[in-house]
Structure 1
């Protein structure tokens, strides 16, 4: 891995600024998107306050609350410096989504109704890893408070459960202990390439419980290897589900490039921004941007990872173009500028499917403006 990322330099690239967009317009674009998603009209916003001290993020396409969305909202809030929204989201999560009994005790129910009743009694590991990272950032930015706002303790305990559940015969870990790879769900033995966040695991290796830090360092390396196996060597496309050897898992038809897969480009970009872009990450970003170069977002589709299109249209074209733009953090290749320009020209999505698109859109705005940052512990 080449050094040069913000973890080592303390400097975050503002790709928009590098490409000539005025700083005031960049600031305004980020702030406007935040305001619209959290406080705007019913056609755009996805955040809703609940009572005096809680709030939730709505998956508007399914009319439920998901750990994915709650953890995404918490990441947005800590990056934007809004402790009130962060705490509201975390208290709703801790109150309604946390499971205290059953096979998955200690994890969070991945889907709840808007009133907080559970729609599922299983977790989705992408939520847990985001919860842990956001809680650590919150601890470093604002300091710990009384339970459940003892952020760092909550994060370390959650990470401990993610890798140790099942060791005493009950429950399942979220990472395969042999391969050090995150699972799609705890009680399965395959993965989802878009869940792989080696840039988070590098930080868990610094801030998790001391006895677990070696595991997270190994997990970061394993995930970087896994992404190289699962992303197609020509198109750069990754399947939604893949076996531990990286081959697409088509057992349920999820071995193609579709909604989950879009996040791989974003994750490669952010890993590069934080820890440096090595040759593979640059090539991966170039491949995926080249694949979509010249394609009309209105005609984005489901694809095999080799690039063969299906008739089925993409459900989340704005999310897809946003993640392709975020890959520019890994490359200055021939399609990087066009990918970023397309994002800049595209507004937030409105309508029923806006939730996933606009979450990915906002993360891309944060990252490309240098505002998606590592929050380190405050040094006394």
Structure 2
């Protein structure tokens, strides 16, 4: 099911696993377009995007009735991949106006969540938003060209990355990459990470487009994250914890909860690993890891997905986002070469978008999986 021994960055070819499994090209395109339309303009129990005023828009976390940098940056990535400049610009204007700090310890970072009217609920950043914002902005610059501020996309991306690396060097605040290990932090003040924040495929591209003096840093960050994921993922189950120390071991319980287990955040680890594989193919371990994870879930029905210890023991709490987990397991087939790869792709194809209150996170992961499995999650 693989088209090349080299990644898409080098070949400019992208795997289309749906087509390889016999789904017609027009049906694949129709499914992708339909899913976009449902998420952005569909019925009230499906859509997650809402326009605001004449020039802004937001993605709502339907389970919490707030707007998060995670969702805003995800929406921008979806829009640039789908060539939807109007929605991209609306999301970016909202984030720029209401979420990005202009001064203080978090200058150029984004308040991680706010109300749909833009009122901030917390000031601190969640760095997965910063890295997705920066990558989406670079892609926008390369796909559509830079315009006047705030549509000078490439410069806006560099402003974010500058803060990620250098915040606090000449004043208050902290960077969101640990200077010693080159690993992304959970928050600027923390001394641990979140494995699902590690996007070495993004850092590889940052090393080509960030400020020249920081390009070596991003090359080192890509290598550090690839090595880190080896440690964070269990060698038998393939499961990763939600939070992990810089040595890859599960982080201690935090005041806001116990995140030592495989749960919602950690679903994204599989998707991040396989997109790195699809784009760069620099680590054969990514194939083994994807096989391990699919094998663990082989005989578990979606309705029975739960929270698990990373050793694989099921806990009482059911998965809050089972469709999102299925989506990342299907996306893992981009790297997997074991007996489960085909089945997970087919299962996702026949699974509809989630409806109801908890749909936001599931359907974001669902759409990213559709993009990747159809060969449409591309480098620009």
Q: TM-score, normalised by structure 2?
A: 0.97
User: How much does 1:3 deviate?
Assistant: 5.8
* 1:18 counterpart = 2:14: no
Residue 76 of structure 1 aligns with which residue?
A: 78
Query: Following the alignment from structure 1 to structure 2, what is the Cα–Cα distance between the partners of residues 40 and 222?
Result: 41
Residue 205 of structure 2 aligns with which residue?
A: 203
Where 1:88 maps in the other structure, the secondary structure is helix
Query: Following the alignment from structure 2 to structure 1, what is the Cα–Cα distance between the partners of residues 10 and 93?
Result: 34
Comparing 336-345 with 269-278, which one deviates more in the overlay?
Answer: 269-278
Where 1:306 maps in the other structure, the secondary structure is coil
For the aligned residue pairs, the C-alpha RMSD in angstroms reads 1.0
Where 1:175 maps in the other structure, the secondary structure is coil
Comparing 298-307 with 275-284, which one deviates more in the overlay?
Answer: 275-284
Query: Following the alignment from structure 2 to structure 1, what is the Cα–Cα distance between the partners of residues 31 and 22?
Result: 14
Match of 2:352 among 343, 347, 351: 347
Match of 1:182 among 159, 164, 184: 184
Task: Write the deviation string for residues 142-187 of structure 1: whole angstroms up to 9, x where unpaired.
Answer: 1111111100000011101100001124111010000000000011
Residue 310 of structure 2 aligns with which residue?
A: 305
Query: Following the alignment from structure 2 to structure 1, what is the Cα–Cα distance between the partners of residues 195 and 338?
Result: 23
Residue 332 of structure 2 aligns with which residue?
A: 327
8 A contact 2:59–2:72 mirrored in 1? yes
Residue 57 of structure 2 aligns with which residue?
A: 55
* 1:148 counterpart = 2:150: yes
User: How much does 1:277 deviate?
Assistant: 5.9
* 1:367 counterpart = 2:358: no
Where 2:121 maps in the other structure, the secondary structure is coil
User: How much does 1:299 deviate?
Assistant: 0.9
Query: Following the alignment from structure 1 to structure 2, what is the Cα–Cα distance between the partners of residues 276 and 106?
Result: 33
User: How much does 1:332 deviate?
Assistant: 2.2
Extract unaligned runs of 5+ from structure 1: 376-380
Query: Following the alignment from structure 2 to structure 1, what is the Cα–Cα distance between the partners of residues 137 and 115?
Result: 24
Comparing 279-288 with 17-26, which one deviates more in the overlay?
Answer: 17-26
Where 2:50 maps in the other structure, the secondary structure is strand
8 A contact 1:3–1:275 mirrored in 2? no
Residue 110 of structure 1 aligns with which residue?
A: 112
Residue 131 of structure 1 aligns with which residue?
A: 133
8 A contact 2:40–2:48 mirrored in 1? yes
8 A contact 1:277–1:330 mirrored in 2? no
Query: Following the alignment from structure 2 to structure 1, what is the Cα–Cα distance between the partners of residues 332 and 276?
Result: 10
Query: Following the alignment from structure 2 to structure 1, what is the Cα–Cα distance between the partners of residues 5 and 243?
Result: 30
